[in-house]
Amino acid sequence: MPWSCPSCEAEANDRLSVCPECGYAKSAWTVVADITRAFAISRKHFDLLRGTIQRPLAPDDPALGALELVQATYVPVIPKAKAQAIADAGQVPPPAKVLFVAFKAKRPEQVDVEVLYEAQASDALQVEVPYPDPPPEGGVVHAKLLCVFGPEELAPDLFEGLTLIDVSEEGGAGFANELELSALRQDPRSLPTRYARRRFRFSF
């Protein structure tokens, strides 16, 4: 599937990582109705992505139907109390706080995503990802993970379509510094965790 350059609107082959006309680097792509466009994922590869929208959204917000995803250089984490407050408000978490594990499944079957972190036992946590019905175009599936921490208890189905991963350290005051993730029986990839507190600016 060719991708359209957002800089000059030229069409480029999937295999190219830069636009042949203007040299624009293909560093982001758009997901429309669970279809990955402008980027090809092989059957023996998985990618770690996150959204760019920083605010909670209504479940029926049109923005959720056309998310821009970028390469994840860290795993975002949020306090459990914040996650509960978002749910109580009838919203879903900001896409920028969600980790998307993207992979291409060979057959319509369940695929496991493995998550391992220091505060957890030595066995990797298995996140079961059912193959969508109907199958997505191109076969690309997204496992959506929301990493949380804190002493509170959350319902595992707090958000439809999101798997909650409790990365709390003992007592819930802190969280694991790093996560290892794997899919399709590939070697795990490590990413540091990050909790971005909201910043306020004052003027006098």
pLDDT tens-digit readout, 112-164:
676 766 555 456 667 776 666 666 666 677 788 999 999 999 998 999 988 89
pLDDT of residue 180: 84
- Over the stretch 94-103, which tens digit does the pLDDT of each residue have? 999 999 888 7
pLDDT at 179 over 50: yes
Average pLDDT, the chain: 74
Q: Considering only 38-42, 57-61, 128-132, 193-197, which range has the smallest mean pLDDT?
A: 38-42
Residue 168 belongs to what domain range?
41-194
Residue 22: inside a domain? no
Cα separation, 156 vs 95, in Å, equals: 18
pLDDT of residue 87: 96
Residue 18: inside a domain? no
Cα separation, 138 vs 140, in Å, equals: 6
Mean pLDDT of 1-23: 56
Residue 2: inside a domain? no
- Number of domain units in the chain: 1
Residue 15: inside a domain? no
Q: Mean pLDDT highest for which of 13-22, 77-86, 100-109?
A: 77-86
Backbone dihedral region for residue 21 (phi beyond 0: left; psi -120 to 50: alpha; all else: beta): alpha
Which residue in 49, 15, 55, 16 sits closest to 30, CA to CA? 49
pLDDT of residue 117: 62
Residue 25: inside a domain? no
pLDDT bracket for residue 88 (50, 70, 90):
very high
* Residue 103: Cβ-neighbour burial (10 angstroms; 0-12, 13-18, 19+): buried
Mean pLDDT of 168-173: 75
pLDDT bracket for residue 56 (50, 70, 90):
very high
Residue 49: inside a domain? yes
Residue 16: inside a domain? no
Residue 129: inside a domain? yes
- Over the stretch 13-38, which tens digit does the pLDDT of each residue have? 555 555 566 555 554 444 333 333 33
